[in-house]
Amino acid sequence: MLDGCPSTYLITFWRCVMSTKDDALLKELTLEEYKYGFTTDIEMDIAPKGLTEDTVRLISAKKNEPEWLLEWRLKALQHFLKMDMPTWQNFENPDVDFQDISYYAAPKAKPKLNSLDEVDPELLSTFAKLGIPLDEQKVLAGVVAVDAVFDSVSVKTTFREKLKEQGVIFSSFGEAVQEHPELIRQYLGTVVPQTDNVYAALNSAVFSDGSFVYIPKGVRCPMELSTYFRINAENTGQFERTLIIADEGAYVSYLEGCTAPMRDENQMHAAVVELIALKDAEIKYSTVQNWYPGDKDGKGGIYNFVTKRGICKGDHSKISWTQVETGSAITWKYPGVILKGDHSVGEFYSVALTRNKQVADTGTKMIHLGKNTRSKIISKGISAGVSHNSYRGLVKIGPGADNSRNFTQCDSLLIGDRCGAHTFPYIESRNKTAKLEHEATTSKIGEDQLFYLTQRGIDPEKAVGLIVNGYAKEVLNQLPMEFAVEAQKLLAISLEGSVG
């Protein structure tokens, strides 16, 4: 053990996206709850608990950041300390002691890694168990570049070289700060300002790492970019920062999948994601979120308080959010789009599934500023157990947004009679030429639907899976093919035992 390193940590992993298509494994998973049981010993480097200016300075120094970024962080911290916790949400805000969190955790490894050989073998074998195609062969066989984030530090980015040939930058946020400070400085905080909300301010002050993507003018990114986030060490908050820029005429599809281990105490995740689409550019951002939701009594589980926003900065640009949310004790986020460019398009497709005592308060914000801008919102909530699932969405039409249009459809599906579905649509229109449509439905998985399917010989659990996947189809269809398959399985598995 190295000096100054706290004891070796036992780390249990929780897989979120099942990359395996192996049905035998799937069957095993469906039979047991949260038994992804394998552990690994990794030496961790953890900052002392607490949040002060010194904490921020430590993080910034650890990451060898330029002075302007430290100043930026410190400004955010000042905002954070002055801000109050929000009270408008449709659940009881958990009491988080911000001084009891460690704001930096990184695996102890060599400072600079050039090849897989240099990566901690323990870490590699863990990735192997998780089935992440880190080794080149596996990646070559697929079409996905995986930037595996272990705790807060990016360990290894595959395929970056190949992407580089086209001028695509896909790296950890920390590396981007070192290698492309001008881009970071130009865009950081331009979509989600430090003052946006209390968790965004916190993230801005203490973010540890995350992902950075830049697609140059006219380039269509040749592969799906994918990042697996996971939270591992005990009592370390996770503050990811993601910045994606699609220059004029560029296209990128990005998938974020998440894992977290089983823990007794709650863990908070307060990420910030900023997307910038310039003229004629398109960004497609997909999320499959399956963090530990807590046990049946609501003990443990992740607090997922995330700020995600994109700006369609140029004319004819497009940003599309797709999310499948099945995990976390509390999911609280509203991926939004600012439609600044004329003729720009914003889309939001969401499936949020809650069971047991889970809470989801999620939706989107579509801010129409440019002329002839269009937005589409498709939200599918699924509630089981005693969970609460809320859709909260804002459609705002600015005075200059002539002929802008929005279509919103938010559906709720209830399983059992002890759960809740809530809808909070907000509409603000300051332009008479705008057209807005809102449709909402609430339905229950009926005894008659279940009986119909079981009468044809289909197992009841499978029947629920079919019904739920049918219900969510419109959203799942937006996901890249291989992830759509996984998301379908995830939905079915998440509902195991919800019927009856």
Kindly give the pairing relationship between strand 39-42 and strand 9-12. antiparallel
The pair phi, psi for residue 194, each rounded to 5°, is -55, -30
3 vs 23, beta carbon nearer other proteins: 23
- For residues 219 to 238, the per-residue mask of contacts with other proteins, x marking binding by CB under 8 A and - elsewhere, is --------------------
Burial level of 30, CB count in 10 A (0-12/13-18/19+)?
Answer: middle
- For residues 392 to 431, the per-residue mask of contacts with other proteins, x marking binding by CB under 8 A and - elsewhere, is ----------------------------------------
Identify which range of 227-235, 288-296, 424-432, 449-457 contacts other proteins by CB under 8 A.
Answer: 449-457
Shortest approach of other proteins to residue 10 CB, angstroms? 40
Tell me the H-state helices in 316-412.
none
- The answer to whether residue 458 forms part of the interface with other proteins (CB under 8 A) is yes
**Buried b or exposed e, range 43-71, using 16+ CB within 10 angstroms:** bbbbbebebeeebbebbbebbebeeebbe
432 vs 456, beta carbon nearer other proteins: 456
CB distance 375 to 347 below 8 Å? yes
- The answer to whether residue 35 forms part of the interface with other proteins (CB under 8 A) is no
Contacts of 165 (CB under 8 A, 6+ apart): none
Shortest approach of other proteins to residue 440 CB, angstroms? 15
- The answer to whether residue 449 forms part of the interface with other proteins (CB under 8 A) is yes
CB distance 366 to 375 below 8 Å? yes
Distance CA 287, CA 348 (A): 11
336 vs 465, beta carbon nearer other proteins: 465
Distance CA 387, CA 264 (A): 19
Identify which range of 91-99, 352-360, 415-423, 444-452 contacts other proteins by CB under 8 A.
Answer: 444-452
Considering only residues 58, 376, 473, 493, which one is a binding residue for other proteins as defined by CB under 8 A? Answer: 473
- The answer to whether residue 459 forms part of the interface with other proteins (CB under 8 A) is yes
- The answer to whether residue 469 forms part of the interface with other proteins (CB under 8 A) is yes
Beta strands in 418-485 (DSSP E): 420-429, 435-444
- The answer to whether residue 440 forms part of the interface with other proteins (CB under 8 A) is no
395 vs 413, beta carbon nearer other proteins: 413
- The answer to whether residue 474 forms part of the interface with other proteins (CB under 8 A) is yes
Shortest approach of other proteins to residue 467 CB, angstroms? 6
91 vs 452, beta carbon nearer other proteins: 452
- The answer to whether residue 447 forms part of the interface with other proteins (CB under 8 A) is yes
- The answer to whether residue 451 forms part of the interface with other proteins (CB under 8 A) is yes
- Helices and strands in the chain, H and E counts: 12, 26
426 vs 451, beta carbon nearer other proteins: 451
Tell me the H-state helices in 292-398.
none
- The answer to whether residue 460 forms part of the interface with other proteins (CB under 8 A) is yes
Closest alpha carbon to 203 in 222, 217, 188: 188
Distance CA 274, CA 173 (A): 12
**Buried b or exposed e, range 439-465, using 16+ CB within 10 angstroms:** eeeeeebeeebbeebeeeeeeebebbb
Considering only residues 292, 471, 484, 487, which one is a binding residue for other proteins as defined by CB under 8 A? Answer: 471
**Interaction site with other proteins (CB under 8 A):** 446-449, 451-460, 462, 466-467, 469-474
